[in-house]
Each structure stands twice: as structure tokens, then as C-alpha cells.
Amino acid sequence: MGSDDFLVAFGAGVGFGHDGWFAKKTKELPFPTIIDMVLNSSFFVIFGCIIPWNAFVPRDITPHCGVWQLFLFLILVLTFRRIPIVYALKRFVPDLRTYREALFCGHFGPMGVGALFLAIEARAQLETGTSHPSYEPHFPRPPYSERQIAAHIIWPVICFVVLGSTMVHGLSVLFVSLLSHFKRPKGERDPLLGAETEGLDGMDHEGGGGESEPEISGTDEEMNE
């Protein structure tokens, strides 16, 4: 249909995860969990090998791409990329019952392979005008055009944001678990610090989690047949 492939994948994810019915159907199946773990582990290994550490410092072509600028950009992205949108759309999402849940859902939106894909696509468009990036290192000579500067700044910026998102969202799970641990009475705490898995301060309510399953997905009896 000539649509954007990334947008199609996003639309499919929204459709399957709209109210939790798909997760309800698959949570008892081990195969999707195994595939998800293998793909995630492979992605982090590959991403760790290609992080452009040397590009996180100012260069002639990107003099304003320094560590503190990247940290500031990361904070702005994590703050404004998802949380305001999720707050605005709360009334249209059946599984979001309170604004506290909207904050929880808006925060946990890690950036990963999708961001890297779009960064590669954008750099290819800037370098060659197509979806195929230049396979040979290209170091232009000054004066630099805005197009050349953009092509060289996209990759380090996006990689830094993905790295920061991985660290922040990964540690957020530990922080929420620790907070839930110390908020419980001593007799109700998990014996292992940070091992709380039930009743975290976020998406925890009666209903939701697939209870609003649409008719089109079929009943449990039909799925068993």
C-alpha cells in the first residue's frame, strides 16, 4: 500500500496490546517468551558492540555534540516523549484507570531497535537519498553543509539515547521493586530485597489485563478446540 513499514509494525503492536487480551492468550505459552528473550538478548549484544563511544565527544563536524548536551537531550526525551501523550490519551485506553497508571505506563517506554532502525534509515536518506546507506566511510571537508552535519550527528545521538533509555528503564524496575518492598509491613515483605513481583506501584487493579477482551479474539473454549 506504500505505507511506512515502521508505522505498520507500530499499528500492529497497538492493535494486539490495546486492552491486554493478546497477552492474556499468550502468557501461558512458553514459546513466545523464549523467542522474546532470545531476540532481546541478541539485540543488546549487537548494540553493545556498535555503540560509537568516540562519537560522544565534540568533533569538528559536530562541535556541539558533547556529553553534557547528550545527557540534557536524554532527559528531555525521557520526560516529554511519552508521558504527556499517555496522559492525554488516558481516557481512550481501557486498561488505564488512574493518572498514576498513566504515569507508570508513560515512563516505561524504552527505546531500542526501532530507534536504531529509524536512525539508519534517516542517515541513508541524508547520505544517498535512498534507503541504502553508504558502505564507505565518508568524512567531508569543511565548510560543512547542514545535511552533512545532520548525517554525522544522528547516529551518536540516537545510540546515546538508546543506551540511556536501557539504563534508566532497567534500573527503574529495581527502584519500583525496592520502593514497594519498604512500603509493605515487615511481615508481608518478600524475604529477598528487591524481589517484589506483586502489587507494584503501577498497573495493579481489578479488571483490565485482558478482561475487556473483544469478541473477535474468540472464547477460551474455541481456543482450546
Q: How high is the mean pLDDT in each 10-residue block of the chain (225 residues)?
A: 78 77 72 81 90 90 89 94 91 82 85 89 86 69 85 92 92 79 71 60 51 48 50
- Per DSSP, 53 falls in state G
Question: How large is the C-alpha radius of gyration of the chain?
Answer: 21
Q: What is the pLDDT of residue 203?
A: 55
Q: Is residue 12 in some structural domain?
A: no
Q: What's the structural domain count of the chain? A: 1
Q: Is residue 55 in some structural domain?
A: yes
Q: Is residue 175 in some structural domain?
A: yes
Q: What is the pLDDT of residue 212?
A: 47
Q: Is residue 161 in some structural domain?
A: yes
Q: What is the pLDDT of residue 190?
A: 67
Q: Is residue 3 in some structural domain?
A: no
Q: For residue 202, report the phi and psi dihedrals to the nearest 5 degrees.
A: -165, -115
- Per DSSP, 145 falls in state P
Q: Is residue 204 in some structural domain?
A: yes
Q: Is residue 18 in some structural domain?
A: no
Q: What is the pLDDT of residue 217?
A: 46
- Per DSSP, 216 falls in state G
Q: Is residue 112 in some structural domain?
A: yes
Task: Give me the DSSP letters along 65-132.
Answer: --HHHHHHHHHHHHHHSSHHHHHHHGGG-TT--SHHHHHHHHH-----HHHHHHHHHHHHHHHHSSSS
Cα Dmax for the chain: 69
pLDDT 10s digits, 63-80: 888 899 999 999 999 999
Domain span at residue 119? Answer: 39-211
**pTM: predicted TM-score of the whole model, two decimal places:** 0.75
